[in-house]
Amino acid sequence: MKLVFEEVERVQELFRIRCQSVTRSPKGCQIIDFGQNIVGIVDIRLRGKAGSVVTLSYSEIVGKDGEVNLSYVAPWLMPDKPQRDIVYLSGEEINYRPWFGIYGFRYVEVKGLDESLTTSDVQGIVLGTDFAQSIHTDPMDPLQCQPAISLSSFHCSDVRLEKLYQNVFWSTLGNLTDTATDCPTRERMGWTGDIQIFVPTATKFVNVVPFFRRYLKNLAAEQLPNGNVPPFIPSGASRHRGGMSYFGQVTSQSTGWGDASVIIPWLLYWYYDDKGILASQYSSMCRWVDSLARRAREGTSWRRWFLGRTRAVEQYILDTGFQWGEWLRASDPFTSTLAQVVWDSPAISTAYLAYSADLLSRAAGVLGKEEDQTLYYGLYQQTAKAWREAFVKDSGRRIADDRQDDYIRGLAFSLLEPHQRKGAIDRLVELVEAADFHLTTGFMSTGLLLPTLADNGRSDVAYRVLLQDTTPSWLYQVRAGATTMWETWEGYDKSGNAFMSHNHYAFGTVAQWLQEGVAGISPMTSGWRRIKIAPYIGGGLSHAGASVDSPHGLVSSSWNLDAATGRVDLDVNIPPCCVAEVVMENGRAETVGQGRHLFSFNLTI
């Protein structure tokens, strides 16, 4: 056994929040409401006679019957309802706080306590990884702190979008606790699919390099000999317990999830210019891409059994092995999600083979591995060509199953020929319009929808989707009172009962576009040495802005629009040692250096 030093900051108390109210439920239990869904524990003053048994039950939800709901998350996964403490009183007043426990909750049900609690008897303690940023508190009221462990920010004229941004922050803070988790109430697993799509957003809030360096080391350590990657890290497998379970071995084949081994190192390099991460993970990256290429080349799906190999490009089509697919597509019943697991998704898996091969080629170039760069770039080109031949028709106006995510992947992963891109974006817009400007994407593509639309000339449609407030949409959750991101768009079933996790960061990828699209702040080169300021001005917003804590200092951009005249005032701040390209009306750009810069121009109204 080899002991390895800890690289991640310890989990500790970050700050405390006040109790907003204490009420009695119809059954007589006391219900504490913090007004915010948090991850942590409570500090509660308990008074009662000796021998009293007090039960504390933690939940994100109070049901429509007025009682704390403990079974909404997934009763088949947690039949024993683990978010519960039992306290035996001695007759003396105590301040109770649990040890070696952490919960996801907004509400705490107190049962068996004779004394009535007041709001001053209890505090919520937010636990999390200390990302080495200061906590900003109100000196007049330290318990009403602003959760500003991040110097990054977003503001605009629509308070709903500001609330959405805050909700994403709270889910980020709660689910990056020691290791990545999908939710704090249920299995608490670091699903690779969830985290690979969320890394760019996480970089906007805190410095996640040490956190994900450790995560990636664990991923490489648990990667199977054939290159497959377990669907969650840590996997829980151990040779002392019989090794990887059958479930783990089968699901370790899934693209989108296993591609975290390639996508996350590249994203950390891009946002932090950390070549060391590429170097340390390079072998793992190669093993995953090689495993996909080998399965495409040697695998034989049921279709090929019956029809035979009819085209040379089929050696680059990945249509074997387990696939999670486009998990939880909006508006699809859960049975459809399960069906796509049973039936292969070759258009999705082949697209990821091409995308990861492209990223691996770029990583090889950064590391000076010229032969590998040529090898994997060739794999990307051949796989993209095979993908187009197999799944693209009518000059890009028909791709695969004709779903929004099919067109998003083709455009975002650079799989289409230049002459096919217009047809693809036109068809994507048609599908969005047919859905009444709602998204129908799942985990894999939701975060790519708005930038794909905007970067291809349809920011008007991107704003329509962003500002939609009927389900499925981000602002529906805000309108429904969410204080964190939900696992499903609705959060409740048709009967009004809470459903699935109410603290799940996956759909919070929208916060990336709030900063990179609405405010227009993004890196042009790895590590933010060159910065692009190109806000998409419009959407009915009169002003918007953001700041991003880059490795070189704070980058900020804010704009104000006079709707009557079309005049835009843009205020930009660039940190030392950086150069920025500021894009204004009609694509006009100006290059500036460090410091504050003011621009004024007119939009065509």
**How, if at all, do strands 579-583 and 530-533 pair?**
parallel
Which of these is catalytic: 67, 109, 487, 516?
A: 487
Q: Token pair of 270, please?
A: 């891009």
147 cis-preceded (ω within 30 degrees of 0): no
Spatial neighbors of 587 by CB under 8 A, at least 6 apart, are none
**Contact criterion met (CB below 8 Å) for 506 and 197:** yes
Characterize the bridge pairing of strands 94-96 and 136-138.
unpaired
Catalytic residue among 187, 389, 490, 581: 187
Clarify whether 581 is annotated catalytic. no
Q: Indicate if 298 belongs to the active site.
A: no
**Residue 468, number of CB atoms within 10 A of its CB:** 19
* Cβ-based neighbours of 538, under 8 Å, separated by 6 or more: 459, 460, 463, 561, 603
Tell me how far CA of residue 454 lies from CA of 36, 397, 402, 475, 591, in angstroms. 33, 18, 20, 19, 22
DSSP 8-state assignment for residue 139: T
- Locate 537 and state its tokens: 């001005």
Cα-Cα-Cα-Cα dihedral sign, residues 585, 587, 589, 595: positive
Residue 436 tokens read as 């009444």
Query: Pick from 338, 302, 297: which is nearest to 318 by CA?
Result: 297
The H or E element that residue 96 is part of is strand 94-96
Angle value at C-alpha 583, between 580 and 585, nearest 5 degrees: 160
The CA-atom distances, in angstroms, between 398 and each of 402, 409, 432, 452, 455 are: 6, 13, 15, 17, 20
Give the C-alpha separation, 142 to 120, whole Å: 14
Residues taking part in catalysis: 187, 487
